[in-house]
Amino acid sequence: MATNYVVTAHKPTAVTKSLTGHFSGKDDLNLIVVKNTLLEIYLVTPEGLKPKKAVEIYGRVAVMELFKTEDSEKELLFLLTNRYNAMILECVKDGNDLEIVTKAHGNVMDKIGRTPESGIIGMIDPMGKTIGLRLYDGLFKVVPLTKELYHQPEKEVRAFNLRLEELNVIDIKFLHGCNTPTIIIIHQDTHGRHVKTYEINLREKEFQKGPWNQDNVENEAFMLQSVPMPFGGALIIGQESITYHRGDGQPITVAPSIIKQSTITCCGSVDKDGSRYLLGDMQGHLFMLLLEKGEKPDGTIYCKDLKVELLGETCIPETLTYLDNAVVYIGSKIGDSQLIRLDIKPDERGSYVQVLDSWTNLGPIVDMCVVDLDRQGQGQLVTCSGAYRDGSLRIIRNGIGIHEHASIDMAGIKGLWPLRLNQSETDNILVMTFVGETRLLKLYDDEVEETEIEGFYAAERTLYCSNVAHDQILQMTMTAIRLISKFGGGQVAIWKPADGKKINVVSANDHQALCACGKQLYYFELGSGQITLARSIEMPAEVACLDITPLCDEMFSTICAVGLWDMSAMTINLKDMSILHREELGGEILPRSILMATFEMNPYLLCALGDGSLFYFHLDKDTGLVSGKKKVTLGTKPTFLKTFQSQTATYVFACSDRPTVIFSSNHKLVFSNVNLKNVTFMCPLNTDMYRDSLAITDDGSLTFGTIDEIQRLHIRTIPLQETPRRIAYQESTESFGVISMRIDKQGTNGPEPVRHSASEIATNRSSAISKVLASAVGASGEHNIGDEVEIFSILFLDQQTFTITHAHQLLLNEYAVCITSTRLGTDADPYYIVGTALISPEESEPTQGRIIVFSYLDGKLNTITEKEIKGAPYALCPMVMADGTIKLLAGINSTVRLFEWTADKELRPECQHSNNIVSLYIKVKGEFILVGDMMRSMTVLVYKPAEGQLEEIARDFNPNWMSAIEIIDDDIFIGTENNMNMFTCQKDSASTSDEDRQHLLTTGLYHLGDFVNVFRHGSLVMHHHLIENSSPISKPILFGTVNGAIGLVVQLPPEFYVFLKDLQERIASVIRSIGKIEHSFWRQFTTERKVIQDCKGFIDGDLIENFLDLSQDKKQDVVNGLKIDDESGMTKDATVDDITKIVEDLTRIH
């Protein structure tokens, strides 16, 4: 049985809902954002949006509304998930933290009912008396908001249904200014679209005739916006017009040409009186809709006119939320979300929009590939993300980038320190030490020159140097310790060891210093012009490394850390030089660097060895005791540890052949690799020219650079301004091939570009000429002037710069469907192979297409051959034969075909298999072929070269509509389907029955809650970063989703799966989920056919990792009675530390 661990490596980023209100307190203005299952709460401040809380909901949020009760000054939050779990939530302040409390909850699903095509609609009436839900065609569900519902703890949400005569309802809203809860609907029948109103009689539980109706509104009307008093009424928004209707007069309609250019996606209110609204469309246009106010003689306010004005361009919006002071949050599903300010006057481009901030969104991830561009053994993801003007490639890596500003060729540097001379508030000297000398570099503007400091001894190697208290510079060399005036007054104090002993290792801070001569350890206190030897002690072995860094923002250190040649580390009390704790490190490798560091106010002791491994411990700063010993391998050579600050937080840079930045996230240490191949020394540097920078050395150069924002995943964006559809990587030519689609407007002389996008601005451009499709191009339908025309291109990008070196435009009405890179036959050179289909509006599925073989060498694109096919090639996959030749598999409509590469460089069909509806996906391992069908789940084929045929050997007979597939190993396969479920199937090779062997057994079922588009073998973590004796995981597979999440599936041995299953159930019983939704309910395999099966074969890694965020008491509750292996074949009672280590190890696989 396949047992798997599923975890989110990157949370969803596509915004599906947002609103603003007073949720966390009556004086707090909050922005609440939903990203699929993730609920984020921000505080709106003058400095911007401040994140306050992020919680996972066990369900995809379909409805989110804030409402206020009569006796509360802050608002409550109503949520409904796609599986009909309703909840009313309150935000309670707990010190600096926020706690989300479930006031009421329940499931409002009906046993029978047809899900509407327009999805779930939910709203709360303006008086706060009623929640209205449209969950099924022909029914309107009402949840009365009684006081008991939100005053009594954990009250059950109860609802009743009202019958709606109108079956095809497009949108519903509650009207303002009505004494009785009144809804307005847009519905469609055979005569067109109409608007109707109903009053809800809560006592009789029935609809009554509403105040007004309007037949035959715009045929494309799709959105309602209820207008508050004093206007009242509603806005009816269509594709070509906007109508205001109140029922007591003639409707007011405006149909400006600017809103006809694209589809309006969302509407957001600006003013409480309903006089202004923001509108956004699919081209990223932002409009202001103004209701012009009129006043009748009796004082009644009415809408005199509607005006629409274009404000500028933004990301393509899904939500528009006006915050305050002309600041608007724009949430996007297919682009980066933005915070903008609306200016009073337009800029030079005529735009009123000023972008204040943005949030990266990877969604939708349509395709991706895993590559090792730096050849460091670490995978990077390159994703096809976004769409239309927000389309882009995203390069995602686990780690931190250093952006180089300047570099100097300089070999042999043994140490670096910054200094501040005279009155300078920034670093203006860089100390560089070598084997037999020390040099000083003066830094000003972007130039450097060698200089001297009076009293500074440059004729030998410096072991330590820094500014210290009393405007002095401390220099520690192998022969002496010196204090020097920073104002040029020369040396003010010196200390030398007796009998000409050599100083081996040193450490210091602003007020204290340590040095060791062999076994002898000396402790000094630094005064004004004084170096006072306070105490000394003879150590049990020669000293290998020292540290005296103060902990927890204190100025003085009361303890020091010492690494010894006997492979031990210890902490020493500086008051009496007594040994507080000694820790045996084991092995035969010397400690080379030791450091005390404070992360998130938690002290740690780090000790790096000569083989690149690192021990780290929790450190009690009062007693000096260390605990929780853990080991991680950072590199293969001696590692040097150095602290630096970034945005008020402390980080540790581990200099080695695989440099790493160490930091803390949620009170656990994170090890992020740096995009440099080798770092020998580093120091923080803050000069006038290079603010908040680092000086870094390798074997031959000195580099100044700044560090990325420190986070788990670093994302780089390559904007395309058109939709990327598929991507392939070609290692030998160091290039990427990308299928992209842009939308042009049909002009008098053919399609004309709407904007400058990637395929339009490429360095080299070419257009397709087809011999095999020449006769069919004209028959593909004509376009009228002004029509939107989809133009497909193949983009070729350099892997280092990601510049587009060539763009190849396909034929009109020719859609590129897939791309792969491979060698063919026995050819040495690789090819890009593209599958295309000719789309005709008269055809239900394509009947013509071609497979094009390109050669891309030295930046030049050549078409080698093209093969006409009778259909659309949805998938292309190379297949390596036993003799090393490579053939090409193609999924063409309902068939799977195998092509061989001839000596004439042509594709010749060899055999095919034709037992599918639509062969969407193909994966190959050895002689086995996995096919994912649009409707008929997965099929396993085998290629038999002797017979020259493809033979079906097993099939999953469940009717799953597949969205992605992958081969785990020879017998186990994983897939996802359109109901956002993940499952594994296994070949029953051991069965004696032929019929049983033809069935793929379902061994794993899991509801992921997000739509997966792509699986790829690989990992974002360097192999050497995995913890020694870490979790026994294997075969990592990454996946990308529509909502921008990146996930990881790894295989677990059965015994570890059983242990994690027990741990998962214990954690689920301890964690109080939002809305009281059971974890087991959330992960049930559920389809539109109401087939519900419990999760099996999968562990929810997101839930397991929540263990680290529990309080100590709850951790203990989880661990009580839990058994673990004691590594001798026996079991023992687990401790909190045991489980913490296991879970921390699991967090480091992604």
106-151: per-residue pLDDT in tens? Answer: 999 988 888 888 889 999 999 888 999 999 999 999 999 887 776 6
What is the per-residue pLDDT for 1029? 37
**How far is residue 259 CA from its own chain's centroid?**
33
- For residues 1086 and 81, the answer to whether their CB atoms sit within 8 Å is no
Q: Say what percent of the chain tops pLDDT 70.
A: 96
* pLDDT band at residue 1023 using 50, 70 and 90 as cut-offs: low
Specify the amino acid at residue 418. Answer: P
Q: Inform me whether the pLDDT recorded for 344 exceeds 70.
A: yes
Q: What is the mean pLDDT of the chain?
A: 89
pLDDT (tens digit per residue) in 247-280: 887 889 999 888 888 889 999 999 998 899 999 9
pLDDT at 499 over 80: yes
Contact 150, 69 (CB under 8 A): yes
Tell me, what's the pLDDT at 503?
93
pLDDT in tens, 367-420: 999 998 766 667 789 999 999 999 999 999 877 777 778 888 888 899 999 999
Cα gap 260→548, rounded to integer Å: 69
Region 334-347 average pLDDT? 93
- In angstroms, the first-to-last Cα distance of the chain is 24
Tens of pLDDT, residues 890-931: 999 999 999 999 999 999 999 999 989 999 999 999 999 999
* Cα–Cα distance, 709 to 447 (Å, whole number): 26
Q: For the segment 556-605, what is each residue's pLDDT rounded down to a tens digit?
A: 999 999 999 999 999 999 999 999 999 998 888 899 999 999 988 889 99
pLDDT for 849 beyond 90: yes
Query: What pLDDT is stored for residue 554 in this prediction?
Result: 87
For 17, 83, 185, 204, 493, the CA distances from 108, given in Å and listed in that order, are 21, 9, 22, 20, 80
Is cis: bond before 364, omega within 30 of 0?
A: yes
* CA neighbor of 906 nearest in space, from 865, 868, 856, 878: 865
The candidate with the shortest Cα–Cα distance to 851, out of 837, 840, 830, is: 837
| DSSP summary character for residue 45 | E
pLDDT higher than threshold 50 for residue 641: yes
Q: How far is CA 990 from the centre of its chain?
A: 41
Residue 206 has pLDDT above 50, yes or no: yes
Q: What is the pLDDT of residue 377?
A: 66
pLDDT number for residue 1042: 96
1119: left (phi over 0), alpha (psi -120 to 50) or beta: alpha
User: Taking Cα atoms as reference points, which of 965, 970, 1057, 954 lies closest to residue 1017?
Assistant: 965
pLDDT digits (tens, 9 = 90+) for 274-330: 899 999 999 999 999 999 888 888 878 888 889 999 999 999 999 999 999 999 999
Q: Which of 54, 52, 51, 104 is nearest to 77 (CA)?
A: 104
Could you tell me which residues come within 8 angstroms of residue 72 by beta carbon, excluding any fewer than 6 positions away?
A: none
Residue 552: CB atoms within 10 A of its CB come to 9
pLDDT grade for 1031, boundaries at 50, 70 and 90: low
Contacts of 778 (CB under 8 A, 6+ apart): none
Inform me whether the pLDDT recorded for 775 exceeds 70.
no
CA distance 839 to 862: 25
Between 593 and 448, the higher pLDDT residue: 593
What does the alpha-carbon distance between residue 243 and residue 89 come to, in Å, rounded to a whole number? 35
Instruction: Give the least confident one: 279-293, 1016-1030, 1106-1120.
Output: 1016-1030
Which pLDDT value is given to residue 727? 96
**Cα–Cα distance, 525 to 70 (Å, whole number):** 65
Q: Is 524 exposed, middle or buried (0-12, 13-18, 19+ CB in 10 A)?
A: buried
* Among candidate residues 260, 253, 250, 219, the one with its CA nearest the CA of residue 235: 253
Residue (of 622, 615, 632) closest to 580 by Cα position: 622
If one counts every other C-beta atom within 10 angstroms of the C-beta of residue 130, the result is 20
Closest by CA to 135, choosing from 104, 161, 155, is 161
How far, rounded to the nearest angstrom, does the alpha carbon of residue 586 sit from its chain's CA centroid?
Answer: 39
pLDDT per residue as tens digits for the range 948-970? 899 999 999 998 999 999 999 98
- What one-character DSSP code corresponds to residue 1079? H
Are 147 and 176 in contact by the 8 Å Cβ rule? The answer is no
According to DSSP, residue 361 is labeled -
Taking residues 338-343, what's their average pLDDT?
94
Res 644: pLDDT: 87
- Dihedral of the alpha carbons of 1094, 1095, 1097, 1101, in degrees to the nearest 10: -160
Residue with tokens 């561009």: 373
**Tokens for 231?**
């206007």
Greater confidence (619 vs 1) lies with 619
Question: What is d(CA 135, CA 122) in angstroms, rounded to the nearest whole number?
Answer: 8
Cβ pair 534, 522 in contact under 8 A: no
pLDDT at 839 over 60: yes
| Per-residue confidence band for 1028, with pLDDT thresholds at 50, 70 and 90 | very low
Q: What percent of the chain has pLDDT over 90?
A: 58
Q: What does the block give as tokens for 181?
A: 């809860």
Could you tell me how many residues make up the chain? Answer: 1150
Separation in Å, CA 1041 to CA 35, 331, 977, 1012, 1044: 12, 18, 12, 4, 5
Give 440's Cβ-side CA count (13 Å radius).
19
Does residue 674 have a pLDDT over 90? no
Lowest mean pLDDT of 166-175, 615-624, 985-994, name the range. 985-994
Cβ-based neighbour number of residue 114 at 10 Å: 10
Burial classification of residue 46, based on how many CB atoms lie within 10 Å of its CB (0-12 exposed, 13-18 middle, 19 or more buried) = exposed
Whole-angstrom distance, CA of residue 1012 vs CA of residue 809:
29
Average pLDDT for 63-73: 86
- Banded model confidence at residue 425, pLDDT cuts 50, 70, 90: confident
**Cα–Cα distances in Å, from 21 out to 42, 73, 346, 909?**
11, 11, 29, 63
Contact 878, 924 (CB under 8 A): yes
Q: Can you spell out the DSSP letters for 911-965?
A: EEE---S-EEEEEEETTEEEEEESSS-EEEEEEETTTTEEEEEEE--S---EEEE
Token pair in block for residue 291: 């209701």
Q: How many C-alpha atoms does 578 have within 13 Å on its Cβ side?
A: 6
pLDDT of residue 712: 63
Map residue 1145 onto helix, strand or coil: helix
Residue bearing tokens 């063919």: 824
d(CA 933, CA 959): 10
**Once rounded to an integer, what is the mean pLDDT over residues 608-633?**
88
Lowest mean pLDDT, pick from 4-18, 77-91, 189-203, 1021-1035: 1021-1035
How far apart are the C-alpha atoms of 710 and 126, rounded to whole Å? 44
**Spatial distance between the Cα atoms of 1062 and 1003, rounded to a whole number of angstroms:** 19
Instruction: Retrieve residue 453's tokens.
Output: 């400091």
* pLDDT value for 1024: 45
Nearest to 945 by CA among 972, 918, 927, 933: 927
CA angle, residues 597, 600, 602, in degrees to nearest 5:
55
d(CA 78, CA 39): 12
The pLDDT value recorded for residue 631 is: 81
Interatomic CA distance for residues 117 and 137, integer angstroms: 9
The answer to whether 129 and 144 are in contact (CB under 8 A) is: yes
Q: How many CB atoms lie within 10 A of CB 188?
A: 17
pLDDT above 60 for 1111: yes
- Report which of 140, 26, 37 is spatially closest to residue 79, judged by C-alpha positions: 37
pLDDT of residue 1026: 42
pLDDT of residue 664: 83
| 1040-1094 per-position pLDDT tens digit | 999 999 999 999 999 899 999 999 999 999 998 999 999 999 999 998 776 788 9
